Amino acid sequence: MKTTIAITLAAIAAMPLAAGADDFPKRTVELIFPWGPGNAMSASQILAEAMSEELGVSIPVISTPGAAGTKAFQIAMNKPADGYTILDGYVAPLVLQPVLGKADWTYADFVPLHAAFSNAFAIGTAADDDRWANFEAMMNYCADHPAELRYTTGSRNNLPHMVIAKVLQSYDCVAQNIPYTANGDAMSDLKNGVLDFGFINVGDYQQNGDDYTIQLVLSELPASAAAFGGAPSIADLDVDLGLSGLGPMGWNWWLVRKDTPPDRLEILREAMKAAIERPEVQEKVNALGFAALEWDWDQYDEIVGPVAGQFEAMGNALKWEEEQLAKY
């Protein structure tokens, strides 16, 4: 009998991180992802797989696109607050849609496990366009030739349009935003000189980097500039654009419902932190053009809180752009 007890105690001591006060988790933990398949989902799957190894249970990534990401949030909020549902909290449904009045929650209605990834974007010109020596020279030209330059961010009034409008306003640059329904058409027109500059996402740059000159990476993070081949970023400018932290780029934190039991929350936090710090995880997401974020859960309010105010300033920049273009 003593031998049996000793073996049992040894087995308990060797149990993985999943062994909490109530033996949580006992079954699959779902990650609700707000977009369709693509690089962002691949990055989340890499991290989910590593976190599942930490917990000892499966973590499938459930794609639930719709309503600019808010459908996923509504589904997650209707699940029990038992720690078995994690929300992939991307910036658009978490902060932007509430600022636009299209969702009735705030970031404070959720509790974080850990920051996940940045998904930065950039302003680029065609690779053979040598009219300007750098981004600031292009902005000076734009200020002297209002409404002459044409650019695209894909659809109008999306996050890249808001960010770029704020940048242009800072330089008194009035340029025309040309909408596209297909990103491929926009990139083709940029490369063929129909457009003067445009929004370049990191995935497109990773695949077609030789087609573009990256004028400005819209992120302060060194890892984001590295993802664009070490191009200049907003951190290199002498002008305060009012864009700092997470405001000017795509990003996500993994979240759970606010009323999740504290002991289960702690287990999930420890598992995610261990997973995202794995070198192989960071190497894989870097290959996708994403950068792992180091911020832990206790920095959530400090980092995410200012983003709503920045989005409001970006919304004002869109109005400024419309008002200025109406003059020409």
Whole-number pLDDT of residue 183: 86
Task: Please state, in angstroms and as integers, the Cα–Cα distance from residue 50 to each residue in 17, 116, 318, following that order.
Answer: 13, 13, 40
The DSSP result for 141-163, as a single string, is HHHHSTTT-EEE-SSTTSHHHHH
Nearest to 89 by CA among 101, 72, 68: 72
Q: Is residue 157 left, alpha or beta, with left meaning phi > 0 and alpha meaning psi from -120 to 50?
A: left
Phi-psi region of 251 (alpha: psi -120 to 50; beta: other; left: phi over 0): beta
Residues 92/249, Cβ–Cβ less than 8 Å: no
Name all domains of the chain by residue range, CATH numbers in brackets: 30-119+249-297 (3.40.190.150), 121-246+315-326 (3.40.190.10)
Instruction: Give CA–CA dist 308/312, Å, rounded.
Output: 6
Q: Are 151 and 197 in contact (CB under 8 A)?
A: yes
Rg over alpha carbons for the chain, rounded to the nearest Å, is 22
Residue 142 contacts by C-beta under 8 Å, 6 or more apart in sequence?
Answer: 148, 149, 168, 171, 173, 174, 175
Per-residue pLDDT of the chain (328 residues; tens, 9 = 90+): 333 334 433 443 444 444 445 689 999 999 999 999 998 999 999 999 999 999 999 999 999 999 999 999 999 999 999 999 999 999 999 999 998 899 999 999 999 999 999 988 999 999 999 999 999 999 999 999 999 999 999 988 888 999 999 999 999 999 999 999 998 899 999 999 999 999 999 888 988 999 999 999 999 888 889 889 999 999 888 777 777 777 788 899 999 999 999 999 999 999 999 999 999 999 999 889 898 999 999 999 999 999 988 888 888 999 999 999 999 8
Task: Locate 58 and state its tokens.
Answer: 């499966």
Contact 42, 288 (CB under 8 A): yes
> Which token pair is 191?
């490369």
For residue 47, the model assigns a pLDDT of 98
Distance CA 73, CA 204 (A): 28
